[in-house]
Amino acid sequence: PTKELPGVKEALEKNDQAGAAEKIQEYLEKKDKIPLNIGITGESGAGKSTFINAFRGVDNRDEQAAPTGIVETTMEITQYPHPNYPNVLFWDLPGIGTTNFPADEYLKLVEFEKFDFFVIISDTRFRENDVKLAQEIQKMEKKFYFVRSKIDNDVNAEKRSQRDFSLEGSLGKIKENCIEGLETGGIKSPKVFLVSSFDLHLYDFPCLQKTLEKELPAHKRDALLFSMPNINMEIINKKKEAFQAQIKWYSVDKLC
């Protein structure tokens, strides 16, 4: 394994254990500090804070939780670090409608450059502002994903109102409706994920997780993976593999 880290093999060949240990330590420290900035935007009440808390594995009632159910009045941007991986930051960005800025100015104001990707949340179909923002994000060559929130509410309502309720049918209809609206607005093949922040393991959150992992640059993938809530065995196994891949460095580090 010493081949994989530049300088380690050479140091060991020269019997320079201290030098090798230093290189390994540098690598481990750097790895822990890779920043991941996730911008969460959507109108007030869309479910941004609840989504951020669920993603961070923090209960809404927790001290570290993003405040939920409070109406925004200012252009306030708050960052919430992941409790175990403080290099992973979730940014609660005010809805573009709340700020009254055009999409390009809004993005400059929130310092879009620092974000690895954006999540645009809505608890209804996406509106003109969401489309404008997405188009501007695209122009700035950043990635964005649409999250249609509070799906548990929709499912419950459909269950109550439809005689021949089908979960798949209902979810399909909601997603189609969102995609159609976004396409009409001019977004090509929008990625829409149906999510309930109260039940992340249901609906499309696992799929969002996989998509993010696939689309993030390789050196950011572990940061995302480790910050993910343990919603299913697949994530737990992936974390295990990623940890195992690192163990050799920790153990070499200890030996030297």
Where along the sequence are the contacts to ligand GDP (CB under 6 A)?
42, 44-50, 68-69, 149-150, 152-153, 196-198
**What six digits make up the tokens of 172?**
């399909």
Q: Could you give phi then psi for residue 110, rounded to 5 degrees?
A: -85, 5
Q: Which is nearer to ligand GDP, 64 or 251 (CB)?
A: 64
Is the CB of 49 or the CB of 227 nearer to ligand GDP?
Answer: 49
For the CB of residue 65, give the shortest distance to ligand GDP in the complex, in Å.
10
Minimum gap (Å) between residue 154 Cβ and ligand GDP: 9
Largest CA distance in the chain: 77
Whichever of 157 and 245 has its CB closer to ligand GDP, that residue is 157
Q: How far is CA 165 from CA 25, 76, 170, 176, 199, in A?
A: 57, 41, 8, 17, 20
Identify any residues that bridge with 119 across adjacent strands, giving them in sequence order. 40, 145
Nearer to ligand GDP, 69 or 186 (CB): 69
**Residue 208 near residue 195 (C-beta atoms within 8 A):** yes
Q: How far apart are CA 110 and CA 40, in angstroms?
A: 11
Cβ contacts of 163 within 8 Å, gap of 6 or more: none
User: In terms of CB distance, is 35 or 69 closer to ligand GDP?
Assistant: 69
Burial class (CB in 10 A: 0-12, 13-18, 19+), 67: exposed
Q: Please, are residues 141 and 115 in contact by the beta-carbon 8 Å criterion? A: no
Minimum CB–partner distance for residue 51 and ligand GDP (Å) = 6
Residue 222 zone, left/alpha/beta (φ > 0; ψ -120 to 50; rest): alpha
Cβ closest to ligand GDP, residue 155 vs residue 256: 155
Q: How far is the CB of 203 from ligand GDP (least distance, A)?
A: 10
Q: Which residues lie closer than 8 Å to 100 by C-beta, 6 or more apart?
A: none
Residue 248 CB, nearest distance to ligand GDP (Å)?
A: 40
Write down the least CB distance from residue 76 to ligand GDP, Å: 11
- The minimum distance between CB 115 and ligand GDP, in angstroms, equals 17
Strands (E), the chain: 36-42, 78-81, 88-93, 117-122, 143-148, 192-194
Q: Which is nearer to ligand GDP, 150 or 220 (CB)?
A: 150
